[in-house]
Structure 1
């Protein structure tokens, strides 16, 4: 295959493997994105997420992850649900309605990689699903799949932002997609205005240490800060406010992937159901769910926090 044929095969195979969008960028050391990450870390906006401080060079240079890397392939996977939770129940972020995306997408990514090797011959390549030092949103933006919104999310003009991002770094030369000439947020500030904890700052900076997702998932402290209690807006796990208010998400369509179809309990549990949930019940119901990241203890801590009086 020549370069054009390889590129066509990559994009066709991506769709066949269940990815809605595929973009390709030239593998090169990140410049501006590296400086933004360094400034963000220096201001302590990662909170207790100390893993963000590690492997800085790996995060900003794909050739450190795959020697002689030539191309970065970015894949988007839709997770937008068809149905919503009970309106009076503790809220769970939409990405966690179904099965753990790490497990699901990793399988699809491995199939994708195997099919490329079967057609191109052996080559060096590594796939990543939010589990390694890769700035996946930067690469998605560079490959023309969207722009970085004011809330820090990748926004696709025709499909919104409810997408998981997977990255494949390979030492195969391909044709590269052009990034968008501009972003399309314009003067809109809905995500900034509606963020319950004022975590979204100017210039597309998100203070991760103030985000509800950080408090309910990443922060492992036994106690959550009291001053945040009135701002939690009944979020039990994660937060979708900045995406829910984004006008571009009017184009979101329900996912077709059965793995991301909502777990019945996520949709139907009441506050009492959550309160009555035992550890054994939690392990059984959510054994394939992202909620297991917080563990039973963390979910109960969050529940107690949002149910208690300010």
Structure 2
């Protein structure tokens, strides 16, 4: 197994730093070829690293909070764990970075310091790719659907949507092993004529430039299995993702209430204990740990703010696996005109 060095943002997430430290310990126990650079204030990371094998302290006195303006914070808090973590990847001191901190700040720091790939336009111009947050959702066909952008770019151009689609397709091929993935453009109907002015601009470009483009799809196709990749802008994508997460939590809460509300339900819950645990695990984001920021010249994973020990562990391990799979280069190689 290839040795891998991953920076973990100890100050990321809504929980106390100890939750992240416990997640790092769990990741190190699960992967003997992993070294973690714990980024955070000296009084937190140094004692932990001194007492932990294969953990190194990366001193970062500044902290970027969820309330900070992401771009302003990245510009002014240059000794924060997010900025220092991304710079470590840029300098080659680390192979990847995982943070459950501010999505906007991680995206801004990744773009500024890890730097995006560039693509050649039809006019011969070299333009940077907008990174997009990409992950997978379980679908009714028993597989996984790639979803991008999940929130990195609220405002985009049609050309950006083409790049998202191409990167999402490459992710589906490289990571999930899906040959000839089907790509759908999220709209308010599957007919070619449906959509906002923006999606109607995107449609012909994607039909011309995206291999495997299957046309418009609906929000329900995030989990239907009718397409392998669902593409949208970061604003709509983040709204759709959180609506889906909220619906899943509501259903699980209602199911738990129904089962615990009567003796008959409690007996059913005991009999279905393993099945219910499997459903909960499938709907939880902890198993994936995070979503990758595609389009950068390095591995950057973003975890959910309401993180847990299990999520930090799995996010750190997922970053290491992405490095070992050479995901960044595989995605770049799958797209024409990438520099």
Give TM-score scaled by structure 2 length.
0.23
Q: Which has the higher strand share?
A: 2
- Larger relative CO (CA 8 A, sep 6+): 1 or 2? 1
